[in-house]
Structure 1
Amino acid sequence: MTSQTNRINKTIYSIFKKGSKTYYYSTIFFPKKVKRDVFILYSFLRKADDYVDQVPQDSEGFYQFRELYYQAKEGIKTGNIITDSFADLARRKNFEDKWIDAFLASMAMDITRSTYPDMNELLTYLYGSSEVVGLFMARIMDLPEESFPAARHLGRAMQYINFIRDIAEDIKLGRTYFPQNDLEEFNLTSLDEKQTKSNPEEFRGFMHKQLEIYKSWQKTAESGFHYIPYRYLIPIKTASDMYKWTARQIEIDPFVVYQRKVKPSAPKIVSNIFTNSIKLSLN
């Protein structure tokens, strides 16, 4: 049994470590029990996302993965360590079924949709792809339900800065994760680099508007930080700070999104963790 448990942990650990650098280096500072649950959560989210982000998309693989989860939810041991571990986590932490269904529905939208006409439709996608992640995390940390609106906004804000950062990458996947009427407002027909470089001021105006949207959601998210215990707040605030850092770099030069993927270095993340540890301990 011990060797099986170790094998599962190593697999989940590997998926997490190969994913987001910001999440990985922030999460390792959670207490052991919480860290294990966060790793399980992330491995499930990452695996589902990987199916729909492949080129070409592995839609069949995604639908099979989704079916494995629903089997695991019913108590069937599927042999898939990711879905089985996540189903167990969902039971232990009382994740609401509608949250998980919304996440899987948003992942399926990546197979069938490439644009969103307005913010209302985009928010439907954002709820399933990111806001519920904030809710999952709130339950993992046993936060009160009063924290849920802020948790949703933190997930949404982090996803939106990812959209901004990953414009070039998403264009290659044939997707635009911004309201089409915002592009129209700035006389942009697409976010293709050739189009934006032909309309530099319009693109800067468009990016400024998207960054302001991110900032407003981030501000709402931070209003709920007081619900998070000190030991849990350190990694949460660190991840949040690193996304704010990313936003600042892009604000300086919006065209940087076509040149490189703006991400903080591992030493920067770890340094911020220790800075937050000191600051929060003094409050």
Structure 2
Amino acid sequence: MIEKLNEIFKNGSVTYYNSSYFFPPRVREDVTKLYAFVRIFDDLVDSVPQRVEEFYNLRKLYNLEKKGYSTGNIVLRNMVELSMRKGFDDSWVEAFLNAMESDIYKKSYYTIEELLKYMYGSAEVIGLFMMKILDLPDDSMHYARMLGRAMQFLNFIRDVQEDLYLGRQYLPIEDMEKFGINKMDCSQGFEEFMRYEINRYFEFETEAERGFKFIPARYLVPIKTASEMYKWTALRIRKSPCVVLSKKVKPKRRKIVVTAIKNMAGVYLWRSLNLIIR
């Protein structure tokens, strides 16, 4: 069972998958269950052509699982079990599914405010799920949301070309207008636009990192590693913004693992110093 979920996780994200190895086994299993659930819905709306009927059928099956009926779907069953055990708010799951549904009919966003509403369901609630999986205090809720927001916003920057292929544009159109561009092609205006959005990502990320103080050391290593890989990606794109029009910028597995190993030493040293200072 877990092998199937693990395969979904592995095929979905290099950064998250490799970073998650540094969670304790039980936590990693829960993270895998969550990611498999998120991935199967996301894949349906991201396919070409979109598998709309399958999306709605899967959503109906999830609601049946939630009501106690067995649908035979391992991913859905595990999400319901995880949700009950960890105390997920049902509204978070609904916000996620609603965001995925909006990808069926909504293709672009004009303002950042409009995009933030979408990102609450598509990304910020993932941070809330993780907060519950890790048994973090409610005081960490804002920062958990911000980390989900930051990571997805960088995905929008990194995946500009892929999203155009899917007929979508997440980065706000009003921001493009500020730089005098109306299409995604390499130009001075495009580079300035992308750097503007990357600076916005760093604002989200900086705010999210203020919440690292709530995360126990044994959980902080994989989260900090994933966060640093996103920052590495952002810096690469900021240096040469037009690169996103030709390839997807992301770290290799070796870099992720090496960074995690360094963080293992760094995180525990940081915690020790904080205890001494206190």
Shared fold per TM-score greater than 0.5: yes
Give 1:134 shift.
Answer: 0.2
The answer as to 2:225 corresponding to 1:238 is yes
Match for 2:84: what amino acid? R
Normalised by the length of structure 1, the TM-score is 0.94
Out of 143, 148, 158, the position equivalent to 1:150 is 143
Distance 1:252 1:99 in 2: 36
Q: Which residue of 2 aligns with 1:129?
A: 122
Identity over aligned pairs, percent: 48
Out of 3, 11, 28, the position equivalent to 1:35 is 28
Q: Any idea what SS the aligned residue of 1:214 has? A: helix
Q: Which residue of 2 aligns with 1:229?
A: 216
Q: Which residue of 2 aligns with 1:4?
A: none
- Structure 2, unpaired ranges of 5+: 271-278
Q: Which residue of 2 aligns with 1:103?
A: 96
CA shift digits 1:30-81 (9 cap, x unpaired) = 1011110000000000100000000000011111111111111111111000
Q: Which residue of 2 aligns with 1:3?
A: none
Q: Which residue of 2 aligns with 1:212?
A: 199
1:1-283 matches, within 5 Å, as 8-191=1-184, 196-197=185-186, 200-283=187-270
Give 1:20 shift.
Answer: 0.3
Give 1:94 shift.
Answer: 0.6
Distance 1:141 1:262 in 2: 29
CA shift digits 1:149-169 (9 cap, x unpaired) = 000000000001111000000
Match for 1:167: what amino acid? V
Give 1:179 shift.
Answer: 1.3
Distance 1:72 1:92 in 2: 15
Match for 1:131: what amino acid? E
RMSD: 0.7
Normalised by the length of structure 2, the TM-score is 0.96
Distance 1:79 1:164 in 2: 37
CA shift digits 1:97-153 (9 cap, x unpaired) = 110000000000100100112111111110000000000000000000100100000
Distance 1:119 1:282 in 2: 39
May I ask how many residue pairs the two structures share in their alignment? Answer: 270
Match for 1:255: what amino acid? C
Give 1:16 shift.
Answer: 0.6
Runs of 4+ in 1 over 3 A off after TM superposition: none
Distance 1:273 1:215 in 2: 21
Q: Any idea what SS the aligned residue of 1:64 has? A: helix
Q: Any idea what SS the aligned residue of 1:150 has? A: helix
Match for 1:180: what amino acid? I
Match for 2:24: what amino acid? P
Worse-superposed segment, 225-234 or 117-126: 117-126
